[in-house]
Structure 1
Amino acid sequence: MSEHAVIAAVRDLLPVFRERAQDAEDARRLSEESVKALQEAGVFRLLQPKRFGGYEADPVTFYEAIRLIAGACGSTGWVASVLGVHPWQLALFPARAQQDVWGDDPHTRMSSSYAPTGKAKLAENGYWLSGRWNFSSGCDHASWVLLGGIVTNDEGQMVDFKTFLLPREDYTIDDVWDTVGLRGTGSNDIVVDDVFVPAHRSLSFADTSRCRCPGQKENDGPLYKLPFGSVFSYTITTPIIGMATGAYEAHLEYMRARIRVSYGSKASEDPFAQVRIADAGAEIDAAWLALEHNMTQLMGHARAGEPMPMPLRLRIRRDQVRGTGRSIAAVDKLFENSGGKALRVGTPIQRFWRDAHAGRVHAINDPERAMSLFGAGEFGLPIQEAMV
């Protein structure tokens, strides 16, 4: 099965994901059947190293799969994206950590929560970790977790900002996820009570920012030379582009059959409705085309063995938050034009509207921060930021 066959397999699953969308909302998590279907389709292997049975696919192929899935069910697309990007990050960890996770089962999945809300204390040969981390999407379907933490020494001074890798027996899941959007993602809390994490199960954000990580010794392909801030930020925006695409398709289907009783005419014949469709479609296309263009350029530098240019990395963050903004604008325009019946529970348009807005509040979608970074770079000012 090739990486391109994964896209074909995903397309075959879309009707099933549409049918299960409301069930995922009601259960507040994806079904085991949906996660198994994603695994069998190869979605979680797209960014996994070939030496563990993965495809090492071009990231645009991964994003295309996510866009399609999110266009059928926002929650399924979100979880597929987040769980699907973690094999890429694990490939950057020391080889021993990769073996810990994939040695016995290359299909092992990881969830994450990167905000450093817990405590990490420097110790001999490792770290002591404790605390609570929020929003770990798909954690019920994972047996390892990636957690962000600021490392302090005995004097309480910060010495590093790292991602820590923990097995399921080292943490508990607190079922707290009850939201108005992305309800089916099961983004519950991770609780860690003073657990020792060996040094090889940690990765510094300083290394990911420099694009020089321990795992590149074994995984030396161009995919693993990309900046974390570029790959992960689009991991969050792509499902939102997909949700906007799903809302667009649902809106078209609805409007073709809708009669506007107040005006006694078909909604599809309303010129103002036609203009709104054009506006929304243009925003969605612009968001996706920027992603394709930027990531293709980034992979070009990686394949050539060239450093990742900071102006391009900053442009990616700029266009990533603009991609989210464009998608939200499109969904809003479509929802506003759908009439009162779109408010009914169970209709796709209102679910996509809620899911897209829920995704928008992710920290990576802060537009002012990303735009300010881009502007600072254009003025030649120094950039001190892990997420570029």
Structure 2
Amino acid sequence: MSQAVLDGVRDLLPTFRERAEETEALRVVPEASIKELEETGFFKLLQPKRFDGHEADPVAFYTAVRDIASACGSTGWVSSVVGVHPWQVALFADEAQQAVWGEDTNVRLSSSYAPTGKATVTDGGYILSGKWSFSSGCDHCSWVLLGGLVFTEEGQIVDFKTFMVPREKYTIVDVWNMVGLAGTGSNDIVVEDVFIPEAFTLSMGETGQCRGPGQEQNTSDLYKLPFHSIFTGTITTPIIGMAMGAYEEHVEMQQKRTRAAYLGEKASLDPFSAVRIARASSEIDAAWALLVNNIREEQDYVAKGEKIPLKTRLKVRRDQVLGSQRAIDAIDALFEASGGRALTKGTYLQRAWRDAHAGRVHAANDPERALQMFGAHEFGHKIDPGMY
């Protein structure tokens, strides 16, 4: 089934390219694009089979995201972050899973995980309030996953949780006016004193240990992988896709381009141009190969029933943040080598340059923190696995 989804997604790529400017103008992915992706089964790739999902290989999901982003960065970004949420919902208590998918297995969720909200312990659950930013694709979703610190009545922090909130209990504030990832509709979410039952929460400490109550119903090895491996991959993959799209357009441009400053020489005959695309393609290939290889390594441990070593998990994060940087470096090099026509509105290159740099500022792409953790572990210092 995964191959059928991938084939369906690839058939949509020309349409997504044609809609890229419209997507930016609307500031959200067009409803038609979301509907077309839904019809391919894309949003169900990581969804449990018992809710009409595919329980697919994460690499199949990443491959679809990469391809979508190669046609439209904003559509790829939204597809990635919305498409990964079924994986986390599968870790929630069965009551929460049933509330989301019990009546309609096409229900989608957006998210904002930064703990900018506050939850206070109360009987049977929590009272949640706050404002969260950057909830990509929220206009296409009827639930949201929000990060929040849990406080006792005395004001002591006792946990960091993800809270699952239905659409009627939060407000979307339209604030998204950006120069990069302009079509993602990554608006603010506001919650005011809403009761969240215990079953609709998930401790980040628990997910950091690759555990969740939903594993009782969803026994696939897919749901035993680390949260921070699966989710950070959803941030790097679209950027790799953007680099692939930029590379394809650059090569096509250079084959047609004549360089007036060099006596009418064809750009494709310039040996330095050939060197640049060799370097860029290697950076893109390396970013993708490491992402895939690292997920495969974690899958091997899970398949054998072994705990994934902390070093492996830290390596995933190391290569994930550097994968984003490799892809962005490739885009920068291609953009700089493409001449003035790359600045033309409507070209993929200038849009990829803006979108990739916008994606770079996501918290998951903070290179120093991820690299410091890997290096500190190599030096024998104690590292908290809950966040990596």
Q: Distance in 1 between matches of 2:300 and 2:64?
A: 21
Letter in 2 for 1:10: V
The residue number in structure 2 matching 1:341 is: 341
Structure 1 residue 332 and structure 2 residue 368: aligned? no
Q: Distance in 1 between matches of 2:354 and 2:317?
A: 24
Q: Distance in 1 between matches of 2:73 and 2:123?
A: 43
Q: Distance in 2 between matches of 1:334 and 1:27?
A: 28
Q: Distance in 2 between matches of 1:205 and 1:239?
A: 24
Shift of 1:380: 2.0
Q: Distance in 1 between matches of 2:302 and 2:64?
A: 22
The residue number in structure 2 matching 1:174 is: 173
The residue number in structure 2 matching 1:288 is: 288
Q: Distance in 1 between matches of 2:241 and 2:347?
A: 17
Q: Map residues 95-174 of structure 1 onto 2, 5 A cutoff.
A: 95-174=94-173
Say which SS state the counterpart of residue 120 (structure 1) adopts: strand
Shift of 1:379: 1.7
Letter in 2 for 1:176: V
The residue number in structure 2 matching 1:40 is: 39
The residue number in structure 2 matching 1:375 is: 375
Deviation per CA, 1:180-230: give whole Å up to 9, x if none.
100000000001111111110000001101111101000011000000010
The residue number in structure 2 matching 1:243 is: 242
The residue number in structure 2 matching 1:228 is: 227
Say which SS state the counterpart of residue 262 (structure 1) adopts: helix
**TM-score between the two structures when normalised by the length of structure 2:** 0.99
CA contact (8 A) 1:222 1:305 kept: no
Q: Distance in 2 between matches of 1:385 and 1:342?
A: 43
Letter in 2 for 1:92: L
| Further displaced range: 321-330 or 374-383 | 374-383
Q: Distance in 2 between matches of 1:306 and 1:64?
A: 26
Shift of 1:340: 1.1
Structure 1 residue 29 and structure 2 residue 44: aligned? no
Q: Distance in 2 between matches of 1:253 and 1:18?
A: 15
Which 4+ residue blocks in structure 1 deviate beyond 6 angstroms?
none
Shift of 1:387: 3.0
Letter in 1 for 2:338: S
- Unaligned ranges ≥5, structure 1: none
Q: Map residues 196-211 of structure 1 onto 2, 5 A cutoff.
A: 196-211=195-210
**TM-score between the two structures when normalised by the length of structure 1:** 0.99
The residue number in structure 1 matching 2:74 is: 75
Q: Map residues 290-329 of structure 1 onto 2, 5 A cutoff.
A: 290-329=290-329
User: RMSD of aligned C-alpha atoms?
Assistant: 0.7
Deviation per CA, 1:281-336: give whole Å up to 9, x if none.
00000000001110111111112221121111000000000100100100000000
Letter in 1 for 2:286: A
CA contact (8 A) 1:47 1:85 kept: yes
The residue number in structure 2 matching 1:10 is: 9
Deviation per CA, 1:62-117: give whole Å up to 9, x if none.
00000000000000000000010000000000011000000000110000000011
Q: Distance in 1 between matches of 2:165 and 2:258?
A: 55
Say which SS state the counterpart of residue 373 (structure 2) adopts: helix
Q: Distance in 1 between matches of 2:30 and 2:297?
A: 37
Q: Distance in 2 between matches of 1:49 and 1:202?
A: 18
CA contact (8 A) 1:230 1:387 kept: no
- Unaligned ranges ≥5, structure 2: none
Q: Distance in 1 between matches of 2:44 and 2:155?
A: 40
CA contact (8 A) 2:112 2:133 kept: yes
CA contact (8 A) 2:124 2:197 kept: yes
Say which SS state the counterpart of residue 322 (structure 2) adopts: helix
Q: Distance in 1 between matches of 2:255 and 2:312?
A: 41
Q: Distance in 2 between matches of 1:324 and 1:386?
A: 22
Q: Distance in 1 between matches of 2:30 and 2:387?
A: 32
Q: Distance in 1 between matches of 2:191 and 2:305?
A: 40
Across the two proteins, how many residue pairs are aligned to each other? 387
The residue number in structure 1 matching 2:87 is: 88
CA contact (8 A) 1:67 1:242 kept: yes
CA contact (8 A) 2:324 2:365 kept: yes
The residue number in structure 2 matching 1:272 is: 272
Letter in 2 for 1:337: A
CA contact (8 A) 2:209 2:385 kept: no
Q: Distance in 1 between matches of 2:367 and 2:308?
A: 22
Shift of 1:345: 1.6
Shift of 1:255: 1.0
Letter in 1 for 2:112: S
Deviation per CA, 1:335-382: give whole Å up to 9, x if none.
000111211221110000100000010001000000011011112221
Q: Distance in 1 between matches of 2:105 and 2:304?
A: 29
The residue number in structure 2 matching 1:217 is: 216
CA contact (8 A) 2:209 2:386 kept: no
Q: Distance in 2 between matches of 1:112 and 1:212?
A: 20
Q: Distance in 2 between matches of 1:302 and 1:58?
A: 13
Q: Distance in 2 between matches of 1:44 and 1:311?
A: 31
Shift of 1:385: 4.9
The residue number in structure 2 matching 1:191 is: 190
Say which SS state the counterpart of residue 107 (structure 1) adopts: coil
